[in-house]
Amino acid sequence: MIEEILWVASAEPPEAAPGDNEIHLWSADLQLTQADESLLDASERQRVLKMAPQRRSEFTIGRTVLRRVLAQYLHLQPDTINISIDSNGKPSLAPPQQQLHFSIAHSRNQLMIAFARIPVGLDLETPRPVKNCLKIAQRLFQPEETRRLESIAEHHQQQYFYHLWTAYEAAQKMHAEGLFGKRTSASYTGRFTLDDGTIGAVCIDECFSAPVEIRCFEHHSRT
């Protein structure tokens, strides 16, 4: 199932963590969000020392926002939340704090995190010209998706390619597969375009008895 998401951030923060049929999408401006390195654990502090300055900033802001939102959901202090990394590099809540799943994505100045009760994947991309997009599609996407791309007028193919690409990446992240791992899909995919032209997709791989509800929020920096 593919759904078009209209990105409209709620004026009020959520009163509780996502329900069984909900996905919460949180966005933050990387240029306007204050990083708090005191929230990083020892292993994360070691990791950032090896990163280039821009990547270090993105990572630290991402962990700052992640821990603050999780603290709100779990009623914990941000610096007490344990985040583990699996063999594929996917972060998750460490036991016993496993009530929520999340996925993080960056693009340009945009940070976004998806939260759900089951594994979730999220991807953001800034569109730019892609050579041989049809060949890439034939290698990575489902045959019906590739046929649809081929049928679109050439001047619209690039945008549609990014809708397919973000959905593909989101599914790979949800299943903790590498970018060129086995071809995966999702039972639900929501795709969206932000005001600055950023294209994104979020997915889960379980069907609910009720429709999936997407709720959007903005994280505001703390000084």
Domains identified in the chain, total number: 1
Band (pLDDT 50/70/90 cuts) for residue 98 is low
The answer to whether residue 223 is domain-embedded is no
CATH number of the domain residue 100 falls in = 3.90.470.20
Structural domain contains residue 124:
yes
Print the domain residue range for 90.
2-218
Domain membership of residue 57 (yes or no) is yes
22 φ/ψ angles, rounded to the nearest 5 degrees: -115, 150
d(CA 48, CA 33) in angstroms, rounded, equals 18
Q: How many degrees, rounded to 5, is the angle at CA 98 between CA 97 and CA 101?
A: 125
156 lies in a domain? yes
Q: Per-residue pLDDT tens for 143-183?
A: 999 999 999 988 889 999 999 999 999 999 998 876 656 66
